[in-house]
Amino acid sequence: MTSCGWLWLYLGAFLMLMEIASPGFVVFFFGLSAATVGLCRFAFGEAFTLTWQLAAFSVFTILYLAVLRRWMKRIFTGDVNRTATDFNNDFVGRLGKVTASVEPPHAGRAEIGDAEWTVECEQPLAVGTTVRVISQNNLTMKVEEVK
């Protein structure tokens, strides 16, 4: 028969592997807590009863989530700082096709990437015209005709 310590270690390994399929980087710490309880079970033997195991699992989970999560998430995701300028220039330079004509000062629509966006241009643009994004203001793209 498998000892209780091994069951905790198996559960811990399973939960840590399940982190691959789940977002948020949380399940890993439940697995780490289960593995820690399994090691404690081996260290303290029969004195580490089920009540103590469940209490230790709860305490270790809260402790690991509170202390280690932010630090380890930074290690795995890296330090990428995006500014508002980065977000406002994501589409600059991309090409698209006009799907609803642009008649200044009224905006039209264009398919850019895999979505349709509101577009503005200084000259009229017919449906089917290829355009290039020259600036972005929130969800409205300013475009120019590609010749």
Taking only the tens place, the pLDDT of each residue in 69-126 is 888 777 766 666 655 555 556 788 999 999 999 999 999 999 998 899 999 999 999 9
What structural domains and CATH numbers belong to the chain? 4-77 (no CATH), 86-145 (2.40.50.140)
Q: Are 119 and 80 in contact (CB under 8 A)?
A: no
Taking only the tens place, the pLDDT of each residue in 21-43 is 887 788 999 999 999 999 999 99
Give pLDDT, residue 79. 61
What's the pTM value of the predicted model, to 2 decimals? 0.51
Bridge partners, 112 (sequence order): 96, 115
